[in-house]
Amino acid sequence: MKIDTKLPKVGTTIFSVMSQLALEHKAVNLGQGFPDFEPPQGLRDALARAMDEGRNQYAPMYGTAPLREQIALKTERMYGHRPDVDAEITVTSGATEALFAAIAAMVRTGEEVIVFDPAYDSYEPAIELQGARAVHIPLLAPSFAVDWQRVRDAVTPRTRMILINSPHNPSGAVLSAADLDELAAIVRDTGIVVLSDEVYEHIVYDGRQHESVLRHPELAARSIVVSSFGKTYHCTGWKLGYAVAPRALTAEFRKVHQYLTFCSFHPAQAAFAEFLASDPRHYLELPAFYQAKRDRFRALLAPSRFTLLDVPGGYFQLVDYSAIRDEDDLVFSRWLVEQGGVAAIPLTPFCETAPGTRLLRLCFAKSDATMEAAAERLCRL
């Protein structure tokens, strides 16, 4: 039987490939972006209670009422925007599901979605599955800032969506209030929807403030904002996230969500509702928690031959390895895991516009022991 693939450019994700290589070569895995430490004890206890109390069947399609209420309170506390609990918040099976549902709900065949390179690898396949086209605009290295004039030039009558990500994966760049004003000016008086991937919203450093589009009333009125409990609470395996959007966008979003996953892990929803109410300090303290890890990791790598790029947000460190070997990042990352004993993520899979970079992404959402073991090997190169 001949299969005419709908995703001819897609194979196994680079994250799965590098994690498998790390296992095979007993390498320290700084590739896939997950913590190697546990979620807060109070959250784990709440999860166990939820299961013991019988929260083991389907949750409501768009999320339990107590969790949506806590999300609304948190959003108002952080961004001065209180979404309607019933009509503007949808709990999802992780941020990736929310991103896919948003694209599938809003983007039609023949339309275009503007994305910024480096771009998280799930964006373009979701766009292509709708029969649409991803329009790639490179971010400006080394700061990975947006060239807003290039965005203006890229907008056409076919542009349906602009997909932004701040703090940015993989660079950690963060958008400013001025950036959001530029974006608002571009989409004003158009039918363009903004999809804002904000899964690292609470991991911003050096006194900066995360500029969610929810802070910007004009953008909030035409945006779907995606957040992640897994990233914030160190439990990526629970696969729980949520989307906040105006009533009309949420109605379309839910049409896809109900047939994609219908609902998400019920015990975790109960646990997060309880923990958000009892301990809101966790996400408020997260910037300092991860800034200490960032600074520790950078100090450990200081004696190495890698050049360390700035990290304004997120929990990834980009490094330039040009002083070590002159080969493309896919080749170098394989050599690094096989010969250097450390798994990293090359940047080429994130980029259509700038293949063959000399940059790697290292995850520092790790214990001190893991960071020290990795740094010891990296400093030997």
Find the CATH number of the domain harbouring 127: 3.40.640.10
**Which 8-state DSSP code applies to residue 309?**
P
Within this chain, do residues 223 and 296 fall inside the same structural domain, yes or no?
Answer: no
Within this chain, do residues 353 and 240 fall inside the same structural domain, yes or no?
Answer: no
Within this chain, do residues 130 and 232 fall inside the same structural domain, yes or no?
Answer: yes
CB 365 within 8 A of CB 230: no
Instruction: Tell me how many domains the chain contains.
Output: 2
Within this chain, do residues 111 and 220 fall inside the same structural domain, yes or no?
Answer: yes
Query: For the chain, how many residues are written?
Result: 381
Residue-wise pLDDT tens digits, 330-349: 999 999 999 999 999 998 88
Give the percent of the chain with pLDDT over 90. Answer: 87
Task: Residue 137: count other Cβ atoms within 10 Å of its Cβ.
Answer: 19
Is residue 7 a part of any domain in this protein?
no
pLDDT bucket at 16, cuts 50 / 70 / 90: confident
Is residue 114 a part of any domain in this protein?
yes
d(CA 66, CA 278): 13
Q: Give the contacts of 196 (CB within 8 A, at least 6 positions apart).
A: 164, 165, 166, 212, 213, 219, 223, 224, 225, 226
Range of the domain at 171: 41-278
Mean pLDDT in residue range 6-24: 83
Average pLDDT of every residue of the chain: 95
Q: Which residues of 23-57 are buried (b: 16+ CB within 10 A; e: fewer)?
A: eebebbbbbbbbbeeebeeebeebbeebeeeebee
Task: Classify burial at 69, counting beta carbons within 10 Å of its beta carbon; exposed 0-12, middle 13-18, buried 19 or more.
Answer: middle
Within this chain, do residues 85 and 48 fall inside the same structural domain, yes or no?
Answer: yes
Could you give the C-alpha distances from 285 to 31, 208, 288, in angstroms and in order?
A: 25, 14, 6
pLDDT confidence of residue 282: 96
For the cut 90, the answer to whether the pLDDT of residue 163 exceeds it is yes
pLDDT confidence of residue 127: 98
Within this chain, do residues 182 and 57 fall inside the same structural domain, yes or no?
Answer: yes
Within this chain, do residues 76 and 211 fall inside the same structural domain, yes or no?
Answer: yes
d(CA 251, CA 264): 18
Within this chain, do residues 54 and 104 fall inside the same structural domain, yes or no?
Answer: yes
CB 349 within 8 A of CB 272: no
Helices (H) and strands (E) in the chain, counts: 14, 13
For the cut 70, the answer to whether the pLDDT of residue 355 exceeds it is no
pLDDT bucket at 358, cuts 50 / 70 / 90: very high
Radius of gyration of the chain from its Cα atoms, rounded to whole angstroms: 20
Within this chain, do residues 162 and 271 fall inside the same structural domain, yes or no?
Answer: yes
Residue-wise pLDDT tens digits, 192-218: 999 999 999 999 999 999 999 999 999
Is residue 340 a part of any domain in this protein?
yes
d(CA 102, CA 131): 15
Is residue 3 a part of any domain in this protein?
no
Residue-wise pLDDT tens digits, 303-326: 999 999 999 999 999 999 999 999
For the cut 70, the answer to whether the pLDDT of residue 168 exceeds it is yes
The residue from 241, 257, 278 where one domain ends is 278
Within this chain, do residues 253 and 337 fall inside the same structural domain, yes or no?
Answer: no
Within this chain, do residues 238 and 292 fall inside the same structural domain, yes or no?
Answer: no
For the cut 70, the answer to whether the pLDDT of residue 353 exceeds it is no
The residue from 278, 308, 339 where one domain ends is 278
Within this chain, do residues 211 and 333 fall inside the same structural domain, yes or no?
Answer: no
Residue-wise pLDDT tens digits, 239-291: 999 999 999 999 999 999 999 999 999 999 999 999 999 998 999 999 999 99
pLDDT confidence of residue 204: 98
CATH at residue 32: 3.90.1150.10
Residue-wise pLDDT tens digits, 46-92: 999 999 999 999 999 999 999 999 999 999 999 999 999 999 999 99
pLDDT confidence of residue 356: 65
